[in-house]
Structures are given as C-alpha cells and as structure tokens.
Amino acid sequence: MKELFDSVSNDCSKLVTKKYSTSFSLAVNMLSPKIRKDIYNIYGFVRFADEIVDSFHDYDKEVLMQHFERDYYISKENGISLNPILNSFQQTVKTYKIPDDMVQAFLKSMKADLYKAEYKTKAEYDAYIYGSADVVGLMCLKVFVDGDEKKYNELKDAAMRLGSAFQKVNFLRDLKDDFEVLNRSYFPNINLGELNAESKQLIIDEIEADFDYAYTNGILKLPVEAKFGVYMAFRYYRRLLKKLKDVPSEKIMDTRIRISDSMKINLLARSYVKYKLNII
C-alpha cells in the first residue's frame, strides 16, 4: 500500500501548487505528463519552507523550520515521511539524484529570512538569490534532462539565470510587503523607502539581462518535454515585468501587480501558437 500513499503524497504537492500559484500550476500543466509530478513535488517543498518564514507569524518560525529540515532528512534516510509534501519531495530527490548541496543552499536562504533584514552587498544578495531561486531552477533542470549530464551542464547557467529573474521580479512586485510587513530589503545599495526612477531602472535592466540570457541559452535548447511549460512561465514573468516597468517608481510600493485570468489565457494561446510553429 506504499504506492497508494505515495500517490496521495504526489496529489498533495499538486494541490499545494494549484492553491498557492495558479500561474505556476498552469505552466507545469504545459510540461510533459511524465515530469509534471516531480515539478509539483519540488514546488510543494519550496512553497512550504517559504510559507514558514513568510506567513506563520503567530508561531515560532525558527522551531518550525528546524522541524521541517529535520523531518526532511529523516524522510530521505528512511524513504518515507508521514508529511506528504516531504514524502513526495524525497522521492523526486532520489529519482533524479538531486544533490544535497542544492537543498542545503535553499534551506540556508530560507533560514536567513528568519533573522536577516537587509542585504547590503551584491555578494550577500547573490548568495541569497542562489539559494532561494537559482538552485530551484537547477532542481527542475535535473528533472528536465533526466540524467543527461552533458545537457545539464550545457543548460545549468541559463536555469540559474531564469530562476534569478523570476525571484527578482517577485522582489520588485512584493516590495511593499517585504519592506513594510516583513521588514526586508533585498536589493543592495537601494533605498526602498525612496525608490527613484534610476534605481528602479537598474533593477529592471538586471532582470531583463537575466531573461535574455535564459531564453537564448536555455529555453530554446530545453528537451521537448519541458520547453513549452518553461516558456509559458517565462512569458508570464516577462509580462509581470512589463507591467512593473509601467508603474512610476514613486507608486510601485502602493501597487500590487497581477496578471488577469484573461491575460493568462491570452499568453497561453499565443505561446502555444509559437510552440507549434516551432518558433521556440
């Protein structure tokens, strides 16, 4: 009956993805059916860790994170966890031989959110993004290439740059909550309380450079099983960035940018046409 429990665990990770991010869930649904489950499993793990540090304000977050990390390693050692999110993730880690240093880098960045409020240097900023986003891109790439180390090494830099771009867009979109609610300032040497047009443009230029590199050197070269789904996520985040560009710097802290359901459908349709015409 372990197979039934594993199936239920996978369903839980899928449900977490759908409940927490309809846009990411839509992109995952554009992947080949044979790899969707494992991308859901990765998302479920990183989503729960992120929720601990960002949302559970009425609880001891540090203790929750300690238990989450401890229980993951117990599940990895035993091959099972009664926490279905950890049970499904440890299966994906085992199947695709995801290195533990990736998991550790991710957890390190999540734990930094428990105590670190400001990133004053580019080195600190880059280290945080590597753990919180780049390695998630690398975990997904492990699934996409399915053991093809040559392909993995060819695409890993692009996967990291795409993860970085997604994270930086999230930072820019969530400035108000990060700065005013969570008391965090990720962008180094930028006064978020007085964000000006020049500082905002520097951030946008950095994100666009990441997107351009990821598209040319990664997305276009992905295996067919992954290309359309990743391209869909890329298009969604680029549209978010376009909307953020249109918001004046002095108003960005007071504006919550969203993509409407109709726009998501439009993006999906246009992306699908390009994919079928072999333009991507």
Q: Looking at the predicted structure, is the pLDDT value of residue 251 above 90?
A: no
Choice between 235 and 194, residue whose per-residue pLDDT is larger: 235
The enclosing domain of 167 has a CATH number of 1.10.600.10
Looking at residue 187, its amino acid is: F
Domain that holds residue 239: 2-276
Greatest distance between any 2 Cα atoms in the chain:
59
Tell me the CA end-to-end span of the chain in Å, nearest whole number.
Answer: 43
Domain count, the chain: 1
Q: Looking at the predicted structure, is the pLDDT value of residue 140 above 70?
A: yes
> Which residues have C-beta within 8 Å of that of residue 26, sequence separation ≥ 6?
232, 236, 264, 268
Q: How confident is the model at residue 52 (pLDDT cuts 50, 70, 90)?
A: very high
Q: Which tokens in the block code for residue 229?
A: 């789904």
DSSP for the chain, written as a single string: -HHHHHHHHHHHHHHHHHHH-HHHHHHHTTS-HHHHHHHHHHHHHHHHHHHHHHH-TTS-HHHHHHHHHHHHHHHHHHT--SSHHHHHHHHHHHHTT--HHHHHHHHHHHHHTTT--B--SHHHHHHHHIIIIIHHHHHHHHHHHTT-HHHHHHHHHHHHHHHHHHHHHHHHHTHHIIIIIS--B-STT--GGG--HHHHHHHHHHHHHHHHHHHHHTGGGS-HHHHHHHHHHHHHHHHHHHHHHTS-GGGGGG------HHHHHHHHHHHHHHHHTT--
How many C-beta atoms lie closer than 10 Å to residue 259's C-beta? 16
Determine the average pLDDT of the residues in 105-121.
94
pLDDT confidence of residue 272 = 67
pLDDT confidence of residue 176 = 79
pTM to 2 decimal places:
0.93
Q: Looking at the predicted structure, is the pLDDT value of residue 49 above 90?
A: yes
